[in-house]
Amino acid sequence: MRGPHNIFRLIRTGATFERTGAMRVILEALDAPPLLRLVVRGLTWPVQWLGLRGDPSMPPATRALTALGPAYIKFGQVMSTRPDVVGDTLARQLRVLQDKLPPFPLAAARAEMERELGVRVDDVFEHVSEPVAAASIAQVHKARLRGSGEAVAVKVLRPGIERAFRRDIDAFYFAARMIELLSPSSRRLRPMDVIAHFEGVVLGELDLRLESSAASEFAVNTERDEGFRIPRIRWALSARRVMTQDWVEGVSMGDVEALDAAGHDRKRLAARVLELFLRHALRDGMFHGDMHQGNLKVGANGDIIALDFGIMGHIDEYTRRVYAQILFGFIRRDYRRVAEVHFEAGYVPPDRDIEEFSRALRAVGEPIFGMDASRISMGRLLAYLFEVTERFGMETRTELILLQRTMVVVEGVARSLDPHMNIWEVARPTVEDYIKKSIGPTALARDLARTAQVLARFGPRLPEAARLALVERSRPARPPPRRTTMALLGGMALGGGLVIAGVLLGQLL
């Protein structure tokens, strides 16, 4: 239930951050103003005795997030990719949340495999190892298939994970409702819709059949992408709570020292990660929605190997074209065109001043061009972009929240490999290639051909459809809807245009 009983859950959250010392660490990392620190600590210090103790062997922030549960761990995973926002020390501490959490017993995992697959584990596998990686939702075991001896990775959901996530999300709903009630200005961010989107993403991640399907589709889309691999799904050994894939060897993309020792070019890897994300999002409209370092490996030959397909993003073709035009406008530093695209797509209310919005976008983009990435303060950039979206009445687009979050994570991963990377130079070839293929005479001819196919298919129904439309038109006018269809096609994810710089932070989720 989404009721007042969640007040205790939220109080306990603050108390846990205070009791573990995480509150002080996070406020310092975010460089919070003294007054904010005083207010927050004043509210949480008296109730810290209500907080969870967590594992004392862990650093404060990691200790608090793991104690609070899987939804909080997900947040920590995002922040672990943003050393430019939370600092190198805190980001490094949070990185253990990606795949180094305490595992559950092997016996429980074997029991889950037998229950889900309907077979005896020893009849299928010659050997099943202790967990080799454990994250917020599941853990992975290395196993060998009986007969062939092939190595596979078996992913098993944590016992009781569904109930734990629902409890956290329940509390988030309550918090979002209170925020909307107490802060009317926050309603443009649509916190309730944001949590609903988060809930949908998470619940989809709790069915490994869907993950298997997503991995299979993603593999088909990317099979011709040089230097990129996806492990093959073993469908006969996959079910709702168990998924089996080919085992792959590689160095974690978060282990910079190991990458250097193996002789990999980190600058090239950083550029490649960004290129691949852009290509998948623009070309295919399907992208990996959880691309933190724990889900990316580098093979001995330099291939990037993606893992964990529980969260996959999809973008319709119209939005991809808008997204590309905004990116291209920023790359060319044509802020007027970027502003026009925002207005054309309905991302900015039509009653706002386009010239003023263009100048605001220039203030966002110009500091980045020609500046060493390591000198850019993402914290300040985020703060300014938030001011811009508020000043121009730009609402959160829940359908693009995952894109926002993934862009933040991908850019953070790239910066961790090459702090001096120029994101615009890396993005230009991929975006230009998409622009040439999707916006222009060739694309127009393709769109017209598709339109003709649709008209041909529904041709016999067109006269009746036209008659009904005319009848509806002749009726008395009704009040217009609050938001137009065109406005709903937009997304604050592209607000400000700095999508590749990762400046939107997914509404901090």
Write a three-state SS string for 114-169: HHHHCCCHHHHEEEEEEEEEECCCEEEEEEEECCCCCEEEEEEECCCHHHHHHHHH
Answer whether 197's CB lies under 8 Å from 203's CB.
no
What sign has the CA pseudo-torsion 364, 366, 368, 372?
negative
Q: What is the pLDDT of residue 260?
A: 92
Of 411, 404, 369, nearest to 386 by C-alpha is: 404
pLDDT of 314 > 60? The answer is yes
Task: Report pLDDT digits (tens) over 257-269.
Answer: 999 999 999 999 9
Answer whether 100's CB lies under 8 Å from 116's CB.
no
Which three-class secondary structure state does DSSP give residue 297?
strand
Mean pLDDT (the chain, rounded): 79
- Of 185 and 166, the structure prediction assigns the larger pLDDT to 166
Answer whether 207's CB lies under 8 Å from 242's CB.
no
As a whole number of angstroms, the distance between CA 436 and CA 280 comes to 16
Element (H, E) at 346: none
Which three-class secondary structure state does DSSP give residue 287?
strand
Residue at 500: amino acid letter = I
Spell out the domain ranges in the chain: 6-97, 100-134+137-247, 316-413+425-437+495-508
As a whole number of angstroms, the distance between CA 387 and CA 270 comes to 30
Structure tokens at 52: 């969870």
As a whole number of angstroms, the distance between CA 303 and CA 262 comes to 13
Task: Report pLDDT digits (tens) over 201-223.
Answer: 777 778 999 999 999 999 999 99
Residue 187: pLDDT band (50, 70, 90) is low
Residue 501: pLDDT band (50, 70, 90) is very low
pLDDT of 379 > 60? The answer is no
pLDDT of 426 > 70? The answer is yes
- Mean per-residue pLDDT, 80-86: 65
Residue 508: pLDDT band (50, 70, 90) is very low
Q: How far is CA 1 from the centre of its chain?
A: 27
Element (H, E) at 197: helix 191-205
Q: What is the CA radius of gyration of the chain?
A: 24
- Of 383 and 146, the structure prediction assigns the larger pLDDT to 146
pLDDT of 321 > 90? The answer is no
pLDDT of 504 > 60? The answer is no
Note the helical H segments in 421-461. 423-438, 441-458
Q: What is the pLDDT of residue 401?
A: 67
Residue 47: pLDDT band (50, 70, 90) is confident
As a whole number of angstroms, the distance between CA 76 and CA 58 comes to 14
Residue 423: pLDDT band (50, 70, 90) is confident
Answer whether 297's CB lies under 8 Å from 307's CB.
yes
As a whole number of angstroms, the distance between CA 253 and CA 292 comes to 9
- Of 363 and 441, the structure prediction assigns the larger pLDDT to 363
Of 314, 106, 158, 147, nearest to 236 by C-alpha is: 147
pTM of the model: 0.72
Q: Which of 99, 168, 170, 290 is catalytic?
A: 290
Q: What is the pLDDT of residue 136?
A: 80
Q: What is the pLDDT of residue 371?
A: 62
Residue 82's φ and ψ, nearest 5 degrees, are: -120, 65
334 belongs to the catalytic site: no
Q: What is the pLDDT of residue 175?
A: 75
- Residue tagged 């205070």 (tokens): 18
pLDDT of 18 > 80? The answer is yes
Structure tokens at 416: 């961790």
Q: How many Cβ atoms are within 10 Å of 64's Cβ, its own excluded?
A: 28
Q: Which of 86-100, 333-347, 402-416 has the highest mean pLDDT?
A: 333-347
Q: What is the pLDDT of residue 234?
A: 95
Q: Residue 79 to residues 53, 328, 488, 494, 495: CA-CA distances in angstroms? A: 22, 28, 29, 20, 21
- Mean per-residue pLDDT, 127-143: 91
Q: What are 151's strand-pairing partners?
A: 144
Element (H, E) at 343: helix 335-344
- Of 501 and 295, the structure prediction assigns the larger pLDDT to 295
- Mean per-residue pLDDT, 231-248: 95
Residue 161: pLDDT band (50, 70, 90) is confident
Residue 478: pLDDT band (50, 70, 90) is low
Which three-class secondary structure state does DSSP give residue 242?
strand
